[in-house]
């Protein structure tokens, strides 16, 4: 194990933009290199930690606030946190940035069309039929990051290229060797 400076890679983007896949790959790579890394992913956190929250604006804000607290705790103890959350509102992400040391906003930029094509669970179709209220990108807004630390084009670059871009950033900023 390397002694390391904790950080939080905050992957934000539409449903289907590749946040989870990319987060998993980055975590794998960091662990292979001997770094402490922990994944926080939207679906898993909701399932295991707070089933009490729905998808209203208030519940989403509370969800992200809680995740931010957890990420801050881990990162200040030397863990590299890879968090994948749609986190559609700028104010949510800025709130987490204020609470977390070494917050790195990673925008997974992907066209809505490609996100819909990748949607294995059929969530976009359900949202378009009105079966899922408050769905980001359909009936609820996604506020694009204005100055993300890293912007990835997940609809045109490969997973490998995007993973490398994240690792290069971490290395360039002294988080990994």
The answer to whether 135 and 127 have CB atoms below 8 angstroms apart is yes
- Integer Cα distance of 1 and 135 in angstroms: 41
pLDDT at 101: 87
pLDDT at 47: 66
**In terms of C-beta density within 10 A (0-12 exposed, 13-18 middle, 19 or more buried), how is residue 17 classed?**
buried
Per domain, the residue ranges of the chain are: 7-172
Count CB atoms within 10 A of the CB of residue 135. 18
Count CB atoms within 10 A of the CB of residue 43. 11
pLDDT at 138: 83
How many CA atoms lie within 13 Å of 172's alpha carbon, on the beta-carbon side? 9
pLDDT at 163: 98
Strands of 66-176, DSSP E: 80-84, 103-109, 150-153
pLDDT at 61: 81
* Domain 7-172 CATH assignment equals 3.90.1150.10: no
pLDDT at 3: 59
Active site residues: 87
Which positions of the chain have pLDDT values less than 70? 1-3, 42-51, 54
């Amino acid at each position: 194990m390397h002694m390391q400076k904790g950080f939080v890679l905050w992957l934000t983007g539409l449903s289907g933009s590749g946040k989870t896949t990319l987060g998993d790959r980055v975590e794998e790579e960091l662990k292979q290199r001997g770094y402490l890394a922990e994944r926080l992913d939207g679906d898993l956190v909701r399932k295991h930690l707070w089933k009490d929250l729905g998808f209203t604006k208030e519940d989403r804000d509370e969800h992200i606030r809680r995740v931010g607290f957890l990420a801050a705790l881990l990162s200040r103890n030397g863990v590299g946190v890879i968090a994948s959350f749609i986190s559609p509102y700028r104010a949510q992400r800025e709130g987490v940035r204020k609470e977390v040391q070494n917050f790195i906003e990673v925008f997974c930029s992907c066209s809505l069309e490609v996100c819909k094509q990748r949607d294995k669970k059929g969530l976009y179709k359900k949202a378009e039929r009105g079966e899922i209220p408050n769905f980001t990108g359909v009936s609820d807004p996604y506020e694009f990051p204005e100055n993300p630390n890293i912007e990835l084009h997940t609809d045109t670059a490969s997973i490998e290229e995007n993973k490398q871009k994240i690792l290069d950033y971490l290395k360039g900023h002294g988080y990994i060797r």
